[in-house]
Amino acid sequence: MGAGSGDVLLMASALLQAISSRPDVAPPSYTQELEKLQDQIPPFPTEEAMAVMQRDMGQSPSSVFSYLTPQPVAAASLGQVQILVAAPVSHLSIFGWRWPPT
């Protein structure tokens, strides 16, 4: 089975992030720009994250979690992070999303 365009993008992003932390592999001017892939990427819409969660879990996020941050707390080229509290309230979870969703 071949890689889809989303998989290729994900692999390229991961490779570029790895290069950004290796000054022995690329010149500083390149690594400084590539570092932006690590944490200076705008998040994808929360509605899309909720749709992916519902698809993957088979139920609405609000039926599984008593609290979900309305906006991501972090985003990078490979995904984003939202804070969740499981229902019933028993523990705090930090959930990372792979982007683009597959």
pLDDT at 93: 57
Q: What is the total count of domains within the chain?
A: 2
Residues 31 and 50 in one domain: no
| Residue, of 54 and 6, whose pLDDT is higher | 54
- 66 within 8 A of 83, measured Cβ to Cβ: no
33 and 46 share one domain:
no
| Residue 6 and residue 46 in one domain | no
Q: The domain containing residue 9 runs over which residues?
A: 1-39
The residue with greater pLDDT, 49 or 89, is 49
Same domain, 34 and 47: no
pLDDT greater than 50 at residue 99: yes
CA dihedral defined by 57, 61, 65, 69, rounded to 10 degrees? 130
CA-to-CA distance for 89 and 102, rounded, in angstroms? Answer: 29
Q: Is residue 63 domain-shared with residue 86, that is, in the same domain?
A: yes
**31 shares a domain with 19:** yes
- The per-residue pLDDT for range 76-93, each reduced to its tens digit, is 666 777 877 777 765 555
